[in-house]
Amino acid sequence: MKKRLFLFLLMGIGLAACSRQHAQFELAAPGTPDGTEYVLARLAINQWVAVDTLQLQGGKITYTFAAPHDAPEFYCLLKDQQRVASFVVNEADRLNIVLGQTGSVEVNGSEEAYLFHKQEKDFEAAQASFESLSLKMAQASASGNKALQEKCQLDLGRFYVKYKQESIRFLMKHPQSIVQVPTLYRRFSDELPIFNEYRDALYFGRVYDSLRITYPKSTYLHALKEERDYRTAMLQLEKKLSQAKTATYPDLSMPDRDGKIRNLSDAQGKLILLSFWSAADANQKLFNNELKALYEKYHQRGLEIYQVALNADKTQWAQTVKEQQLPWISVCDGMGAYSVAAAYYNVGSVPAMYLIDQAGNIRPERNEFDPVALDRLIGRLLR
């Protein structure tokens, strides 16, 4: 009897395993020539990674793959490096994607797949509007039309705030949806994430808490938790800074390449050159070479450089610091133009430079980028 029961159990397990269906999508592209290639890509938190190349046959493509059990993932189809359809794939999904000859796209088969496709299309339209406003502002700046430039800047700010509010409403309306994940990581540009503030830790935490119940096996949970924890820690740091005693200059506490917190005040008593820069700008990297010569000349006499990178891509910044072998204190919080440090020192654009003397006073000389003049100034202050 026990042996028979054991066999029935084995059969039950086997039938359950066999009954688990693989996810599948069918693409229909009427009017598109056979042999047309599409690239299937998967979203890895904030970048698309190609996983397969598919060819149209008879106006259709049928693709079957094993989606992780109860762990949805985001995919898209690209044609000529342009995204034509976005969708979510979960276990046993049967999705239908229709590419119309007029450029229309339909995604059906699951609520999550449709929701993600719609969100991506809405964001593409928003991004196009944002880029149009940015171009208009740049043209106004180039022509010297300050009034139009200020208006465009105000319009951009309002547009950004409105889109973020809409994104927050989406999170509130769909608390169990996996589509919350890409919503949190969207950005209008490399330097402008939608959720760009430390206090947005609230939303990363909220999504993490809901998805670890709905989709405990999701590959996105780790990244959400890391982002929540990082932003929470930076919020606490901000609070400590705001409660600190008033100094003659705003102190900064930011992580270096090794993740160690470096304080601007640690260099107190020295002549501090406080530099704000972007590792993405080749001209600013060239200026670093001139700073290295000044650093080697005056460091032993009391010069310290505290350099803040206003980059959202911390990997690019860290690689640049390593390649240039920058000998001074180099820090970056990964928040780009929205770094707290930039706000403290009212940095509107980079490069920007301040000199803090040995008594802790910010010198009136600012943004002196001529290496000869800067050499003379530092030499005079270190007499």
Nearest Cα neighbor of 288 from 247, 326, 344, 250 is 326
Ranges 6-15, 139-148, 278-287: which has the least confidence = 6-15
Between residues 247 and 309, the one the model is more confident about = 309
CB 195 within 8 Å of CB 164? yes
Nearest Cα neighbor of 199 from 45, 340, 342, 308 is 340
Q: What is the pLDDT of residue 383?
A: 85
Alpha helices in the chain (DSSP H): 2-19, 111-143, 146-173, 180-185, 201-214, 221-243, 282-298, 314-324, 340-344, 371-381
Percent of the chain with pLDDT strictly greater than 70: 91
Ranges 19-33, 303-317, 350-364: which has the least confidence = 19-33
- Domain residue extents for the chain: 22-109, 118-239, 253-381
Strands 94-99 and 105-108, bridge-based pairing: antiparallel
Report the chain's C-alpha Rg in angstroms.
Answer: 27
Query: Mean pLDDT score of the chain, rounded to an integer?
Result: 88
Chain-centre distance for alpha carbon 3: 57
CB atoms inside a 10 Å sphere around CB 119: 20
253-381 folds as: Glutaredoxin (3.40.30)
Nearest Cα neighbor of 163 from 131, 115, 211, 199 is 131
- Tens-digit pLDDT profile for residues 232-245: 888 887 776 665 55
CA-angle at 266, arms to 270 and 381, nearest 5°? 10
User: Quick check: 20 pLDDT over 80?
Assistant: no
Q: What is the pLDDT of residue 190?
A: 80
How far is residue 310's CA from residue 227's CA, in Å, rounded to a whole number? 18
Q: Please, how many CA atoms are within 13 Å of residue 121, restricted to the half-sphere of its CB?
A: 15
- Highest mean predicted confidence (pLDDT) among 9-13, 206-210, 242-246: 206-210
CB 279 within 8 Å of CB 311? yes
CB 248 within 8 Å of CB 336? no
Q: What is the DSSP letter of 301?
A: G
CA-angle at 80, arms to 79 and 84, nearest 5°? 30
Cα end-to-end distance, the chain, whole Å: 98
User: Quick check: 7 pLDDT over 60?
Assistant: no
Beta strands across the sheet bearing 73-79: 47-55, 37-44, 73-79, 82-89
Confidence band, pLDDT 50/70/90 cuts, at residue 18 = very low
Percent of the chain with pLDDT strictly greater than 90: 65
pTM: 0.59
22-109 folds as: Immunoglobulin-like (2.60.40)
Q: What is the pLDDT of residue 2?
A: 45
How far is residue 294's CA from residue 366's CA, in Å, rounded to a whole number? 17
